[in-house]
Amino acid sequence: MSEERAPAVMPETQAPWPARDGLRITGVRAIVTAPEGLPLVVVRVDTSDPGLYGFGCATFTQRFHAVVAAVDQHVGPMLIGRHPADIEDITRMVHLSSYWRGGPVLNSALSGVDQALWDIAGKRAGMPVYELLGGRVRAAADTYLHASGATIEQALADAQQILDAGYRNVRLQAGGPGLGTYGAPGTPGGYPDAPYPDGWDVQQYLRDTPKLFAAAREVLGETPNLMHDVHHRLTVKQAVALARALEPYRLFFLEDPIPLELYDRLPELRAAAPMPIAVGEQVASVADAARLVAGGGVDLLRLHISAIGGLTPARKLVALCELTGVGTAWHAPADVSPIGAACNVALDVSSPAFSIQEGHLWPDPVREVFPGTLDPRNGYLYPNDAPGWGIEVDEKAAAKYPAVTHLHERWSARVRRPDGGIEAP
């Protein structure tokens, strides 16, 4: 009796072609730390060369436990034995492998892997990542910071401090009765006769926001670029009304005026708005982002790069933006790790599509955990010239700042109107 032989099956982790050398991925794991209070997730990819490893940003603050599980239990094991240079093939394999693909959890896990592989590529080449993308078309990325306050006066005082520090661009948010607007403190109990006295009243917001920018132009002058984030809380008609009311104050952009669920109406809104419309931070699919650009609904694309899968898909969107006249303004507040911020800046300085970059002033604990964190100078972010991202992760320091299920995860579901209805976060 002839011996039965199992069919030759290539392991999923083995590439369908021989690599040119013996370098292989030997380990993939997630690292979670919260040096500023918000959970940050990074992925470390190790190789068979003990001194060669890479880091990538996989931060999805509100669901960081799910991202860690995806990295450690699902995505990581698929990469063992692969050559780290095969970035395009590896990222496509990970993207397609789950059958029900996409979404911010899986894409954040993919982003961490993808950015770590680009970090390794830069280290192997002895080049910063932006040089792998074609080199600089500008020296640095012009940035903006957030100014806010419970009152218009407090918000403008905060903005003046930012301008005095050398910045030319400010996002303005002022509070109001109840919770105020997103990104600014409000007045507790602002609607005492309402079922939910700490609620957010859209009509109050529509009345007060033009007053904020009228005062801003009077106090701050004509030169600064001013922005405002609605944070998805208006209907299309309300957003058009706000945009037209703000026309005299020449906003650099109006951010996220309508909810993600209404993005099919962005072309209508964009056509009616007198200032550029910036959207995209809630988009969790490169295909959805591409349709957003190609469909004419956006002037500035504000993706959270971790949510779409990392640098590899983002650089393709950058090319699409360049060809269609859309600018980039990547999402980068405190819930983007310094590695994710470095990825943003690598794209900023290497692409003609760049418009402006959201900035964040990292406190000392973050710099302790992430040596090499980018430091703005005179309102500009310069990329590191060290190979890869030029940023390390001190895991002993990271362990000093453990992440917990942060209150931020529950806060967004509690933003209500005075009548008690939940507002879009």
Catalytic residue among 83, 146, 231, 304: 231
Specify burial of residue 80 (Cβ count, 10 A radius: 0-12, 13-18, 19+): middle
Note if 182 is an active site residue: yes
For residue 177, list its beta bridge partners.
187
The DSSP-derived string for 225-280 is: EEEEE--S-S-HHHHHHHHHHTGGG--SEEE--S-GGGGGGHHHHHHH-SS-EEE-
Tokens coding 317: 């969107």
Give catalytic status of residue 205 as yes or no. Answer: no
In the sheet with 40-47, reading across from the earlier edge strand, the strands are 25-33, 40-47, 53-57
CA distance 268 to 295: 11
Q: Which helix (H) or strand (E) holds 25?
A: strand 25-33
Residue 368, helix vs strand vs coil: helix
The enclosing H or E element of 109 equals helix 104-125
As a whole number of angstroms, the distance between CA 133 and CA 117 comes to 14
Exposed / middle / buried, residue 48 (Cβ in 10 Å: 0-12, 13-18, 19+): middle
CB of 106 within 8 A of CB of 112? no
Task: In whole angstroms, give the CA distance from residue 123 to residue 129.
Answer: 9
Which of 59, 27, 120 has the alpha carbon at shortest distance from 333?
Answer: 59
**Which tokens go with 216?**
């801003």
Strands 380-381 and 141-149: antiparallel
Other Cβ atoms closer than 10 A to 43: 33
Which residue blocks in 327-399 are alpha helix, DSSP H?
338-350, 364-369, 395-399
User: How many Cα atoms occupy the beta-carbon half-sphere of 305 within 13 Å?
Assistant: 36
Catalytic residue among 53, 144, 167, 182: 182
Give every CB contact of residue 26 below 8 A, 6+ residues apart in sequence: 46, 47, 48, 80
Catalytic residues: 182, 231
